[in-house]
Amino acid sequence: MNGRQYASLGCVFAGIAVALGAFAAHALKAQLPAYELSIIEKGVQYQFWHALALLALGLWYRTQPQRLLSIACGFIVVGILCFSGSLYGLALTDWRWLWPITPLGGTCFLVGWLLAAVSLWRKA
């Protein structure tokens, strides 16, 4: 993918986070216990912040294309899907097999941030 696509994907993930947050706050509030709602809120928070990071890194990539930065963006995308996606699944279903996917997503976030830092450091 290129920087424009990563930035665009960041916008899409941010929009989805807003929609899921609103859906949880209004439609699911009466349906789910407080603990499950808090799990969804945590997923939305991480998704939104990482969507903004993806947007910023995608825009940076457009000006300073670098393979390492592209890989960093890829890890952040996978992190959003695994971390936030597994939290949504855990809150809304009985699929307990999703628990191991959450830390995998968190690890992807960490790797993405580390690679982004190294990539941006090299370009400075």
pLDDT digits (tens, 9 = 90+) for 13-27: 999 999 999 999 999
DSSP class of residue 82? I
Tokens found for residue 51: 């969507």
| Three-state secondary structure call for residue 2 | coil
Would the pTM count as exceeding 0.85?
yes
33 burial (CB, 10 Å; 0-12 / 13-18 / 19+) is exposed
Q: Tell me the pLDDT tens digit for each residue of 54-106.
A: 999 999 999 988 999 999 999 999 999 999 999 999 999 989 999 999 999 99
